[in-house]
Amino acid sequence: MHPNSLLTIDSLRREEIIDLLNDAYCFSNLYKDWHLSTNGPIANLFFENSTRTHYSFASAELQLGLKVEDMYPEFSSLTKGESLYDTCKTFEAIGYKALVIRNKQDEYFKQLTNINIPIINAGDGCGNHPSQCLLDLYTILEHFHRIKGLKVAIIGDIAHSRVANSDYQALKMFGADVTFSGPEEFKREGFPFTNIDEAIKSSDVVMLLRIQFERLEGPMHISKEEYHQKFGLTKQRYEMMKENSIIMHPAPVNRGLEIDSDLVEASKSKIFRQMTNGVLVRKAIIKRAFNEKPFSEKNSDWSF
C-alpha cells in the first residue's frame, strides 16, 4: 500500500490529523488558489452512490489542478466479473496517480495492498469514512476552536454508520466526551449509550445520522412518525439544546425522520457548512496523497 494512502482515521497519528486540518484551514484563506505542480490524473471509483463525497472530492481535485476521471461501474469491465483489485491495478498501469474509492464492502482496501499508487477511502461499508471524519472535526473546530472537553452526542443508526465509527475514534483521540443514542437495534458494541433527551440537553454537538435503509436486513419495526418522536431531533428537543451548541449530520438527510425538516437549516445547524468544509479537507487529503509537505503556516487559533 502506498504510504500516502488514507484508509482509516486511526491509521493517522494525531500530528498528521492536525496537519491535515491546518492545511484545510490554509485552503480557506492563505492558500485559496494553491494547486499541485502535477495534473495527475486521478480517478474516482464510486461503487456506491454518493453526492457530497463524490462531487466534493471532484471539486477538490479540479481546484488543485488535477485531471479527473470518474469511473462508472456499470460501464466498466466489473460487469464482466473483473475484480476490484484488477480494476485498480489497471488504473495504476494506465497512468493514474491516485484513486478515490468508495465500496460497500467493509475494509475493501485489504485486497489492495499491492496497489502502488495512493488510495483514498471515500467510505467502506459500515467501516470507515476518514474524509467525513476530518470535515466533522474541522466544522467543530471552526465553531468551538477546540475539541477537548466538548460533549458530543451521535444519534441514530449507529450500527451501520461508518461516520459514527471514524468520528468516535478521532473525537476520543482529541479528548471529546462522546456518547451515542438511538434505537436498541442500532447499538454498536463498545459504544456508550445515553437516553436521547439527556444526550441532547447536555451536548455541545448533536450529530444526527441517517437510517441506512440500504443496509437493513428487514423492514424497520417502528413507523417513521414514531421513530421521529422517539429518536429524532424534534422542534421540542431543539429547544432543549444548549445555547452555543450545534447540529451536524453527514447527510443525505431523511427530512422529518431523524431531524425535523425545518431544523435542517436552523441557526444551530452546520449541515451545509459541513459540505463546504468537506472540499477544503479533501484538498488537504489529496495534497498529502501527492506527497506534498504540510504548509508551514499555522494561522488558525484552534487548540488541540
Smallest separation (angstroms) from ligand ASP to the CB of 31: 27
Smallest separation (angstroms) from ligand ASP to the CB of 250: 4
Smallest separation (angstroms) from ligand ASP to the CB of 247: 15
**Which residue type is seen at 94?**
I
Q: How far apart are CA 85 and CA 220, in angstroms?
A: 35
Contact map string, positions 247 to 266, toward ligand ASP, x by CB under 6 A: ---xx---------------
Cell readout for 22 is 491546518
Nearest to 55 by CA among 70, 67, 41, 39: 70
Rg for the chain, CA atoms, rounded:
19
Contact map string, positions 40 to 69, toward ligand ASP, x by CB under 6 A: -------------x----------------
Smallest separation (angstroms) from ligand ASP to the CB of 127: 10
Q: Are 241 and 199 in contact (CB under 8 A)?
A: no
Residue 90's Cβ-side half-sphere holds a number of Cα atoms within 13 Å equal to 11
Q: In angstroms, what CA-CA distances link 240 with 209, 245, 278?
A: 19, 10, 29
| Nearest to ligand ASP of 132, 203 (CB atom) | 132
Q: Figure out which of the listed residues 54, 210, 270, 283 binds ligand ASP, where binding follows CB under 6 A.
A: 210
Smallest separation (angstroms) from ligand ASP to the CB of 198: 24
Residue 183 interacts with ligand ASP (CB under 6 A): yes or no:
no
Contact map string, positions 134 to 163, toward ligand ASP, x by CB under 6 A: ----------------------------xx
Nearest to 117 by CA among 278, 6, 282: 6
Q: How far apart are CA 158 and CA 221, in angstroms?
A: 16
Binding site for ligand ASP (CB under 6 A): 53, 123, 129, 132, 162-163, 210, 212, 250-251
